[in-house]
Amino acid sequence: MPVSAIAGLTLLVLGESHLSFPDHLLDPLQANLTSQGAKVHTIGACGAGAADWIVPKKVDCGAEQLPGGKPEVFGKNGMSTTPIKDLIAKDKPDLVVVIIGDTMASYPDPQFPKVWAWKSVTSLTKAISETGTKCVWVGPAWGKVGSMYKKDDARTKLMSQFLATNVAPCTYIDSLTFSKPGEWITTDGQHFTIDGYQKWAKAIGGALSALPLEAVKGAK
């Protein structure tokens, strides 16, 4: 087995509701990345888009898991997002992993808000890159069409393509390549059963482990 690209690195993982509950992506991803030899700090904030990691925002739910610790889950108004520069100054990570897509896709809206999304995404990538920290952005996975969140395949694909062309200097990981549409069963059209989350975590972990070294560690 080749050594993982993230072995021995400190990771800061940020996301939205997918990372806000232990039985979602939080537990399996933390376990996967830790098993590869990374020191992992994960924070999930329900409903948070990219710009919400620039200016603090109170969220309805969330979770945080420190390296070697158990996840702490927060209820309504129990947590706020923390500006990315403050998190980086405290953690001094080698790599920031951003898992944001569904909260910015505006699934119910007829038009994708491209200008707003661009401003939001670039505000976060700029803030990370100004610290000299490497970053990886993980895009949305396929959901179920016609659910309560109005997620649909066309907008999911559009969001993924938008991120792929706008998250530089972060490296983009396209979650749509990990499964076929509808393959991972959801509970509400957007959030998966634990089986889906375990598969997504394994796929993200595999993609991170195979990245070139220059994508995961800066000259800090």
**If you compute the radius of gyration of the chain from its CA atoms, what whole number of angstroms results?**
16
Residue ranges for the chain with pLDDT beneath 50? 220
Q: What CATH superfamily is the domain 10-213?
A: SGNH hydrolase (3.40.50.1110)
- pTM for the model: 0.96
* DSSP-based three-state secondary structure for 13: strand
Per residue in 147-196, pLDDT (tens digit) is 788 899 999 999 999 999 999 999 999 999 999 999 999 999 999 999 99
| Encoded tokens for 161 | 């393509």
> What is the secondary structure of 31-64 as a DSSP string?
HHHHHTT-EEEEEEETT--GGGGTS--EES-EEE
* DSSP for residue 174: -
Q: What is the pLDDT of residue 219?
A: 53
Q: What is the pLDDT of residue 217?
A: 80
Hey, where are the domains in the chain? 10-213
